[in-house]
């Protein structure tokens, strides 16, 4: 038998092809789907696949049967609720904008699944992420690099992985473009070959996070004042969790010029708005920093810094404040630096590390 690997299967085309590539490469593959539970209060008809759904589990099971590998569905509903769903709601209540995919990768796919792999004496966990993991021959250190398909690259969501996690992670799709992945699926005649992309927030049935929060934490959503930069009341907001820095639409106030959310004052239950230029910032503090290419940051370094997933990145200098915190000074001011979002540092296509915008 070959080296053992768990293929994390969601029922989508990416994880299906990952399992197929692992089989083709000669690994002894076990297919596992994490049953995360449906954490929503509504059932809707949608053409978007949902990795939390029974349909996703059944698609994963059938692909595993096609590939001739054993399949298991493991119940992780409670840790998913605690690590992802509660975190998601708590961040919005705290005036921060969450990034649940980072936490899911850190705590579940390369947390719970790796722990299960250890129990089963399995060497690796393989996922359908579009990113590349390489080992430096001189230092033995594992590095994380962008996937070659820039439209699909998911390295941003993986910045928090440790050396121990990276050493046991396999991401075979990092060297593929999305259309090539579908071609592989067609070659194997996998039932998921033409399946559309899954939705971004798998636990919100209709992608309406405001409706989800209103259903889940109604007692924590209170109306309050919308004020300008000088504190003048301009209108009423519907609850701090419904707003994020940089937001323009849905403010419900009229003005001579476009106004944007510039700050959320949670303790005062106040939304502050201002002009576009009020959103510009040339520095930010980042906490909870995880470094991949080095153990610690002994001195300032230059890097490209992404402040959200779709951000192309911008040149900056990163100054160490402590082992887990840095200050980032951008060469040019950035717009809508949003607390709670991940800030990820790059040298070219290599992830230096990252943390959370304070």
| Catalytic-role residue among 51, 52, 101, 104 | 104
| Catalytic-role residue among 51, 52, 101, 202 | 202
Task: Tell me if residue 101 is catalytic.
Answer: no
Task: Tell me if residue 104 is catalytic.
Answer: yes
Per-residue burial over 102-114, b if 16 or more Cβ lie within 10 Å, else e, is bbbbbbbbbbbbb
Cβ-proximal residues to 231 (8 Å cutoff; 6+ apart), any chain: none
Do 292 and 166 touch, CB atoms closer than 8 A? yes
Strand partners for 143: 134
Task: Report residue 52 CA to chain centroid gap.
Answer: 16
Q: Which of 10, 39, 330, 2 is nearest to 192 (CA)?
A: 10
Per-residue burial over 233-257, b if 16 or more Cβ lie within 10 Å, else e, is ebeebbbbbbbbbbbeeebeeeeee
CA gap 91, 317 in Å, rounded: 27
Task: Report residue 256 CA to chain centroid gap.
Answer: 37
The end-to-end CA distance of the chain, in Å, is 48
Cβ-proximal residues to 335 (8 Å cutoff; 6+ apart), any chain: 246, 276, 279, 280
Which residues are identified as catalytic?
Answer: 104, 202
């Amino acid at each position: 038998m070959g080296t053992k690997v768990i293929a994390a299967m969601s029922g989508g085309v990416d994880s299906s092809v990952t399992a197929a590539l692992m089989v083709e490469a000669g690994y002894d593959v076990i297919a596992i789907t994490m049953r995360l539970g449906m954490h929503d209060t509504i059932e809707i008809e949608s053409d978007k696949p949902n990795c939390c759904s029974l349909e996703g589990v059944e698609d994963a099971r059938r692909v595993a049967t096609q590939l001739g590998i054993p399949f298991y569905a493991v119940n992780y509903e409670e840790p998913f609720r605690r690590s992802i769903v509660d975190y998601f709601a708590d961040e919005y209540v705290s005036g921060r904008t969450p990034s649940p995919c980072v936490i899911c990768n850190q705590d579940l796919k390369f947390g719970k699944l790796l722990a299960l792999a250890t129990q089963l004496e399995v060497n690796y966990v393989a996922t359908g992420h579009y990113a590349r993991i390489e080992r430096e021959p001189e230092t033995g250190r594992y590095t994380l690099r962008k996937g070659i398909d820039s439209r699909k690259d998911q390295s941003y969501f993986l910045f928090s992985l440790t050396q121990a996690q990276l050493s046991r992670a396999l991401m075979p799709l990092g060297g593929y473009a999305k259309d090539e992945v579908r071609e592989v699926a067609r070659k194997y005649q996998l039932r998921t070959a033409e399946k559309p992309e899954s939705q971004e927030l798998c636990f919100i049935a209709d992608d309406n996070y405001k409706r989800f929060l209103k259903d889940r934490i109604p007692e924590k959503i209170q109306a309050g004042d919308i004020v300008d930069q000088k504190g003048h009341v301009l209108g009423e907001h519907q609850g701090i969790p419904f707003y994020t820095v940089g937001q323009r639409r849905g403010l419900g106030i009229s003005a001579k010029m476009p106004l944007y959310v510039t700050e959320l004052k949670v303790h005062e239950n106040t939304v502050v708005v201002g002009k576009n230029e009020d959103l510009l910032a040339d520095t930010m503090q980042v906490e909870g920093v995880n470094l991949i290419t080095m153990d610690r940051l002994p001195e300032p370094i230059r890097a490209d810094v992404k402040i959200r997933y779709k951000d192309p990145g911008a040149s900056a200098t990163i100054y160490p404040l402590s082992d887990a915190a840095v200050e980032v000074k951008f060469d040019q001011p950035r717009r809508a630096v949003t607390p709670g979002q991940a800030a990820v540092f790059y040298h070219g296509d290599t992830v230096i590390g990252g943390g959370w915008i304070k």
